[in-house]
Structure 1
Amino acid sequence: MAAAALEPWQCVAPRRRRSAARRPRPQEAVAAPSPEAEPELDCGVVLRRIRETEADLLISDFWSLALETINKCLVKHLEQLTAPVGALSEATGELHLNSSPGESDVAPGSTPGETQVTGTCNWKCVCYGIGNFATCVIARNQLTFLLLFLEKCQIPRSHCWVYDPLFSQLEIAVLNTLGVIVLRENEEGKRRVRGAPTIFYMPHCGTALYNNLLWSNWSVDALSKVVIVGNSFRGLGERLLTRILREHYTYVAKILEGLEEHAFPQTPRYTDTFNDTSVHWFPVQKLTQLSMDTWAFQEEPDYQGCEDLEIIRNTTQDPPATDSNLL
């Protein structure tokens, strides 16, 4: 599959590194080299590694198969976004939900053998939790996949917001050079789409982050505009005790019957990078079949008494920065 190479970069940002405060994910702990073995890094070194990772990913079977999986979902999602206004209003009208008017639609590139996604949708993208890509191979694979995916889907990098509390100053500088927007505040995943079709790229994130995202967009109108690339929701439902899922991750538990999920392909080279990863979208037909009680419950998650939460909480008392509301 042909794809344009990432543009050459220049970086003039600071080279100082800041230690991360979050406990590393298991994959990061395995993949990250020891400080003694790590050469001194600067923007040029990290950008070169990203280019090398891109070249390997583009020639892999995984890239073409994963892109085909995403494209299948986006084709269906685009059909939903471009459906006549009356059809969506009729489907959601009886629920009397608070919803914002959406905008339609997108133009991802095509995958051989698949229907091409076309249109003029202004999709946004939000990425949470990729970790220390400067030193971790798994995180760098995830970032490179995101960059290539943005290009293939014709989403400008300026329409992509990225955040991880692990990011060092060097990594923030690299991301700024790449042209994506680094969020200044820890949103804990509580970002509303505000009518804009949005793809959330969240590989290997904690369950609470997905739960917070669902809570923030808990309406038929909002969720119908959301696509999530991240941990399999079906897998979460199977692995977690029913009591734990319903008590602490209520919105994940409630949405299992209102989504469509397609698993990423598994290939030996990228098993650690994208294991248990799926593409999720939320068909209006399924959402409207959920009970009124399901939508009436909108209590904000607090996770009191929840063990092994797997996310870093925002301990500041300040309101989110304005860039958290740009979608």
Structure 2
Amino acid sequence: MEAAGGWRPVRGRRRGRAGGEAAEEEEAGAVLRRLREARDDLLSSGFWAASAGAVRAPLAGSAEPPARCVCYGLGRFGGCPAARYQLAFLLLLLEELGVPPGRCSLFDPAFSAREVAALRQLGLRLLPDNEEGKHGVEGSATLFYMVHCGKALYNNLLWRNWSAGALSKMVIIGNSFKGIEERVLSRILQRDYSYIAKVLKGTEEAALPAHPRYLDTFNDTSVHWFPLPKLKELAPEVWDCVEEPTYQECDDLEIIRKEKGAAGRSPTAAES
């Protein structure tokens, strides 16, 4: 991956490729070309430069720089321009923060074989299973890139890391928590997405700028972080309940559950 000249695939392991695998690599190359075009468009439009302030905001607030990244819900970037721009933005983000591609893991059950091949050529990693967002920071400062994901995915992520120490090591780029609070009835937020509701007063948020070319791609997207001093100001009882979310009363759950078997797995889980 190169900051100046675009992204180049990781070389190696080409000897003895089967015909189908070689065809997948060729298709992946076409995806990467369109991805570089999306990158150039983000740079030339000024959107990336305008967004850099929001990206740097957590670091200015003394948050620990992320050492790794987890991306959920990217979608079919091979054929969907919005998903392709979101992936191009993620790669620019990794460059900006100095996170190596090999320290960035992705999961979306919708990824096709050629998209998986493209991600691997970029040196990115694939999570083998559907975690439903329940990914722990495990003591490492972690960036979670979750543009336009379902509310339950954010709620699950918060539950999995429900302590001041773990939350303070997280940065989340995704749907505005303030927007969720405004759009969802308070009783529903408290009942179905209680961890989002409880963390609101401990959250700092910086919105990505609006740009006419990317209104559908990055609308309602913010950078969120959780300063330790703000988390320590929350009432002690906030931390007492650590019950895993079940969403039994939720009528419009916006995530794919792990119980759905093959639909919840990466298409290449056996190879990961």
Deviation at 1:286, TM superposition (A): 1.0
Say whether 1:6 aligns with 2:6.
yes
When residues 16 and 233 of structure 1 are mapped into structure 2, their CA distance, relative to the original with a 3 A threshold, is: farther
What TM-score, normalized by structure 2, do the two folds share?
0.88
Which of 29, 49, 57 is the equivalent residue of 2:42? 57
Deviation at 1:72, TM superposition (A): 2.0
Say whether 1:47 aligns with 2:32.
yes
Runs (4+) off by over 6 Å: 10-13
What is the letter of the counterpart of residue 221 of structure 1? G
Mapped partners of 1:16, 1:300: distance in 2:
43
What is the letter of the counterpart of residue 55 of structure 2? I
Deviation at 1:5, TM superposition (A): 2.6
Say whether 1:154 aligns with 2:119.
no
Which of 120, 139, 145 is the equivalent residue of 1:176? 120
Mapped partners of 1:294, 1:133: distance in 2:
39
Deviation at 1:54, TM superposition (A): 1.0
Contact 1:15 1:169 in 2 (8 A): no
Aligned counterpart, 2:144: 200
Which of 187, 193, 207 is the equivalent residue of 1:243? 187
Give the root-mean-square deviation of aligned CA atoms: 2.3
Aligned counterpart, 1:68: 53
Deviation at 1:10, TM superposition (A): 6.7
SS at 1:126 equivalent: strand
What is the letter of the counterpart of residue 69 of structure 1? A
Deviation at 1:304, TM superposition (A): 0.7
Which of 183, 197, 216 is the equivalent residue of 1:253? 197
SS at 1:59 equivalent: helix
SS at 1:311 equivalent: coil
Q: Gapped runs of 5+ residues in structure 2?
A: 15-19, 267-272
Q: What is the percentage of aligned positions where both structures have the same residue? A: 51
5 Å-filtered alignment, 1:1-327, equals: 3-9=3-9, 14=21, 42-76=27-61, 79-81=62-64, 106=65, 123-315=67-259
Mapped partners of 1:188, 1:299: distance in 2:
16
Aligned counterpart, 1:89: none
Mapped partners of 2:157, 2:21: distance in 1:
32
Contact 2:145 2:172 in 1 (8 A): yes
Mapped partners of 1:249, 1:6: distance in 2:
40
Mapped partners of 1:16, 1:245: distance in 2:
47
Mapped partners of 1:227, 1:64: distance in 2:
19
Q: Deviations over 1:5-28 (max 9, x none)?
A: 3332278683789xxxxxxxxxxx
| 56-65 vs 219-228, which moves further | 56-65
Mapped partners of 1:251, 1:72: distance in 2:
23
Mapped partners of 2:178, 2:117: distance in 1:
36
Q: Deviations over 1:104-129 (max 9, x none)?
A: xx4xxxxxxxxxxxxxxx61111001
Q: Deviations over 1:173-217 (max 9, x none)?
A: 111111010111000000000110001000000000000000000
What is the letter of the counterpart of residue 186 of structure 2? T
Contact 1:14 1:170 in 2 (8 A): no
SS at 2:258 equivalent: coil
SS at 2:259 equivalent: coil
Deviation at 1:80, TM superposition (A): 4.2
Q: Gapped runs of 5+ residues in structure 1?
A: 18-40, 82-105, 107-121, 322-327
SS at 1:315 equivalent: helix
SS at 1:228 equivalent: strand
What is the letter of the counterpart of residue 7 of structure 1? W
